[in-house]
Structure 1
């Protein structure tokens, strides 16, 4: 569903005339809808959970000298729970130093971490010691590209009527409805509750199967017993 289709479903609920175009328009209400669509899309994508569709695997390759690596162009942030795995020592992740003073301390003291260490400074990941030539480190990050254009190319925000949100359009629609009403001083509590319920359901479905099953016994209903008789000594 394009963003124009989403907006067409939003407008009757918030009391606006259904438009034929939005992102090519300079009408005040359409400009407000453009800004609201982008704000709500980013809020859903970045403020709730690490969405599976937005996860990307990054790989940095060493040359034996470099200790600083630029993040990919679409890097938004690392996942809330992420580790950096080196190919040189694949059974142990690099040690994370989130505190910049602690990182500076190991630099000044020339401390060499046993399995390597990493931190983030500015727009780079710093790794100590330098990665061996052609060895790699890998980690997952959250992409800033939350929209696709009509050709399927990912980008960071809506800019055309035929752009598509990469996550649930219904959640985006409900979010735009309650936030528009809140912005205009209209009653919005029920609409916000509906949005939050839809967001929770969408987030809950954005994961793999559970390892543990709650309820009936875990033996499959059609499993055969290996030996149905009784063994007598």
Structure 2
């Protein structure tokens, strides 16, 4: 479903005439709809769970010299539970040094984590110690390309009537309805509740970890390794 089709479903509910075009229009209400569509789509895509459709695997390759690497061009953020796995030691991920002062202290004192470490500074990912030539480090991140154009090419925002949201379009529709009403000072509590319910259902249906798993071993919280075979009597 195109973004224009979504907006056509939104307009009767919010009291607007159904438009033939929105993103090629310069009418005030259509400009507001454009901005609202992009804002609500960003909230859905990036403010909640790590949607599987937006996950991308990145790999950086060492050269024996570099300690920092550019983030991917479509990088939005790391996953909420992200680890970086080195090819040189595939059973022990790099330690994440989140505090910049801790990273600076480690650098100035010329000390390193036993398994290696990483941090984000500016638009780069920093890794220490230096990775050997052709050694790699891989991690998942969330892409900022939440939209597809009519040819199926991913992009960062809606810019044409035939663009398509990569996630649940019903959630986007309900989100636009409640936020429009809120922006205009209208009653929106019931519409917001409908949006939140739909978002919760879509999030739950998105492929991911289950609270309970039947039929296979489960690792303790934060454990990296466990006994890999079933114990037989």
TM-score w.r.t. the length of structure 1 is: 0.90
Secondary structure (helix, strand or coil) at the match of 1:119 reads strand
Q: Distance in 2 between matches of 1:187 and 1:100?
A: 45
For residues 98 and 210 of structure 1, do their structure 2 counterparts lie closer, same or farther at Cα, with a shift above 3 Å needed? closer
Secondary structure (helix, strand or coil) at the match of 2:66 reads coil
For residues 62 and 42 of structure 1, do their structure 2 counterparts lie closer, same or farther at Cα, with a shift above 3 Å needed? same
Instruction: Give how far 1:213 is off.
Output: 5.4
TM-score w.r.t. the length of structure 2 is: 0.90
For residues 6 and 128 of structure 1, do their structure 2 counterparts lie closer, same or farther at Cα, with a shift above 3 Å needed? same
In structure 2, the residue matched to 1:107 is 107
Aligned residues: 215
CA deviations 1:90-120 (Å, max 9, x no partner) are: 0000111101111001111110322211111
Secondary structure (helix, strand or coil) at the match of 1:137 reads strand
In structure 2, the residue matched to 1:147 is 147
For residues 101 and 213 of structure 1, do their structure 2 counterparts lie closer, same or farther at Cα, with a shift above 3 Å needed? closer
Superposition pairs for residues 120-159 of structure 1, below 5 Å? 120-159=120-159
Superposition pairs for residues 82-231 of structure 1, below 5 Å? 82-208=82-208, 210=210, 212=212
* Runs of 5+ unmatched residues, structure 2: 216-233
Q: Distance in 2 between matches of 1:65 and 1:200?
A: 46
Larger Cα Rg: Structure 1 or Structure 2? 1
Q: Distance in 2 between matches of 1:27 and 1:211?
A: 48
Instruction: Give how far 1:208 is off.
Output: 4.2
In structure 2, the residue matched to 1:77 is 77
CA deviations 1:27-67 (Å, max 9, x no partner) are: 00000000000000001011111111111101001111110
Q: Distance in 2 between matches of 1:79 and 1:106?
A: 25
Secondary structure (helix, strand or coil) at the match of 1:132 reads coil
Q: Distance in 2 between matches of 1:167 and 1:85?
A: 28
2:9 counterpart of 1:3 = no
**RMSD of aligned alpha carbons:** 1.3
